[in-house]
Chain A
Amino acid sequence: MKIIIFVILVLLSHVSHGANHIEISASSIALSPPGSGIHAAYMTVQNHSQHDISIIHIESNEFDQIEIHETDMNGDMSRMQHLNEIVIPANQQVLFSPGGLHLMLHGTARKFTPEQQVLLVFSLSDGSRVNSNFTVKNLADIMPHESLNIPEGRQSNVMTSITVFFQHLLPQHLLTSVMYKIARIKWEPLKNFFISRFIDHYKVDMSIAKTTDAKSFRHFNAFFTRELKTTARPVDLAENTIVSPVDGTISQLGKIQDDVLIQAKGKNYTLKALLGDNESISERFENGQFMTIYLSPRDYHRIHMPINGLLQNMTHVPGKLYSVNQATTDNVDNLFAINERVISTFDTEIGTVALIMVGAIFVGSMETVWAGEITPASQRELKHITYDDQAIELKKGQEMGRFNIGSTVILLFEPNKMKFNEDINVNQQLNMGSGIATIN
Chain B
Amino acid sequence: MIKKRTLKSLVLFTGLLIIGAVIGLFMLRFYSAPHQPPEINGFLWPNSKAIMDFTTIDQNGNSFNVDDLYGKWSLIFFGYTHCPDVCPISLTVLEQFYNRVANKDVIQIIFVTVDPDRDTPARLKEYLEFFDPGFVGLGGTIDQITSLTDQIGIAYLYQLPQSDGNYLVDHTSSIFLFDQQAQLVSIFSAPHSVDEIYSRFSDIQNFLSTNK
Contacts and interface: CB of A to CB of B under 8 A. Distances in A.
A and B held together in a complex: yes
B127 A36 contact: yes
B6 to A, nearest CB: 4
B192 interface: yes
A33 B126 contact: yes
B81 A35 contact: yes
A148 interface: yes
A301 interface: no
Given A179-B13, A189-B24, 15 more contacts: A32-B84, A33-B81, A36-B127, A76-B174, A77-B170, A78-B170, A80-B84, A102-B84, A106-B166, A107-B164, A143-B89, A147-B193, A149-B195, A187-B24, A213-B33
A148 B193 contact: yes
A78 B86 contact: yes
Contacts of B168: 79-80, 82
B9 interface: yes
Interface in B135-183: 155, 157, 159, 162, 164, 166, 168, 170-174
B130 interface: yes
B45 interface: no
Contacts of A30: 88
Contacts of B51: none
B192 A147 contact: yes
B187 to A, nearest CB: 8
Interface stretch (A1-9, A168-176, A240-248, A283-291): A168-176
A80 B13 CA distance: 50
A36 B171 contact: no
Contacts of A188: 28, 31
Contacts of A189: 24-25, 27-28, 31
B48 to A, nearest CB: 18
B130 A34 contact: yes
The SS class assigned to the A binding surface is: mixed
Contacts of A79: 157, 159, 168, 170
Interface string B83-99: 11110110011001000
A69 interface: yes
Contacts of A187: 24
Contact of A192 (B31, B100, B194): B31
B46 interface: no
Interface stretch (B15-23, B57-65, B67-75, B204-212): B15-23
A111 to B, nearest CB: 12
A150 B194 contact: yes
Nearest to A138: B92
A179 B10 CA distance: 10
A86 interface: no
A380 interface: no
26 contacts: A35-B123, A35-B127, A38-B84, A64-B164, A65-B164, A69-B85, A73-B190, A76-B174, A77-B170, A78-B190, A98-B85, A99-B190, A139-B92, A140-B92, A143-B92, A147-B93, A147-B193, A148-B92, A149-B195, A171-B7, A175-B6, A189-B27, A189-B31, A190-B24, A193-B23, A194-B20
B41 to A, nearest CB: 13
A187 B155 CA distance: 41
Given A102-B84, A213-B36, A148 B6 contact: no
A171 B123 CA distance: 48
Contact of A77 (B89, B127, B155): B155
B82 interface: yes
A243 B6 CA distance: 36
Nearest to B84: A40
- Report the interface size class on chain B: 35 or more
Contacts of A215: 33
B42 to A, nearest CB: 16
A341 interface: no
Given A171-B6, A178-B10, A189-B25, A39 B84 contact: yes
B109 to A, nearest CB: 15
A193 B17 CA distance: 11
B201 interface: no
Contacts of A175: 6, 9-10, 13
Contact of A182 (B17, B100, B192, B194): B17
A423 interface: no
Interface string A70-114: 010100111110100000000000000011001010110000000
A146 interface: yes
B131 interface: yes
Given A33-B126, A78-B170, A99 B164 contact: no
A39 B191 CA distance: 20
Contacts of B3: 171
A35 B88 contact: no
Q: Please indicate which of the listed interface residues A33, A64, A143, A190 has the most CB atoms of chain B within 10 Å of its own CB.
A: A33
B35 to A, nearest CB: 9
Contacts of A213: 33, 36
Contacts of B189: 76
A178 B23 contact: no
Contacts of B174: 76
Given A35-B123, A175-B10, A192-B27, A40 B173 contact: no
Contacts of B93: 147-148
5 tightest A-B contacts by CB? A189-B24, A33-B130, A78-B173, A190-B24, A40-B84
B24 A146 contact: no
